[in-house]
Chain A
Amino acid sequence: MARVVVDVMLKPEILDPQGQAVANALPSLGVDGVTAVRIGKRIEIDFAGDPDIEQARQIADKLLANPVIETFTIRTESQL
Chain B
Amino acid sequence: MKIGVVTFPGSLDDGDARRAVRIAGAEAVALWHADPDLHGVDAVVLPGGFSYGDYLRCGAIARFAPVMTSIIDAAKGGLPVLGICNGFQVLCEAHMLPGALARNGHLHFRNRDQGLRLESVDSRWTSEFVTGQEIVIPVKNGEGRYVADTRTLDALEAEGRVVARYIGENPNGSLRDIAAIRNEAGNVVGIMPHPEHAVEELTGPSMDGLGFFTSVLKSMAGAAA
Contact = CB atoms under 8 A, between A and B. Distances in A.
Given A66-B100, A68-B92, A68-B100, A15 B60 contact: no
Given A69-B100, A69-B147, A64 B105 contact: no
Given A64-B56, A66-B57, A66-B93, A18 B99 contact: no
Interface string B77-104: 0000000000000001100001110111
A14 B107 contact: no
B60 A66 contact: yes
B143 to A, nearest CB: 11
Contacts of B102: 10, 14-15, 69
Given A14-B147, A68-B92, A63 B56 contact: yes
A20 to B, nearest CB: 9
Contacts of A10: 102
Interface in A7-41: 10, 13-15, 17-18, 21
Contacts, number: 36
Contact of A15 (B57, B92, B148, B173): B173
A69 B149 CA distance: 9
Contacts of B145: 15
Grouping DSSP codes into helix (H, G, I), strand (E, B) and loop, the B interface class, with mixed when no group exceeds half, is loop
Interface in B123-181: 145, 147-149, 173
Contact of B105 (A13, A15, A68): A15
B58 to A, nearest CB: 10
B76 interface: no
Contacts of A21: 107
Among the interface residues B99, B100, B104, B145, which one has the most CB atoms of the partner chain A within 10 A?
A: B100
A78 B145 CA distance: 39
Among the interface residues A15, A21, A68, A69, which one has the most CB atoms of the partner chain B within 10 A?
A: A68
B106 interface: yes
A66 B147 CA distance: 12
Contacts of B147: 14-15, 68-69
Interface of A: 10, 13-15, 17-18, 21, 63-64, 66, 68-69
Given A64-B56, A68-B147, A69-B147, 7 more contacts: A10-B102, A15-B105, A15-B173, A63-B60, A66-B93, A68-B98, A69-B100
Interface of B: 56-57, 60-61, 64, 92-93, 98-100, 102-107, 145, 147-149, 173
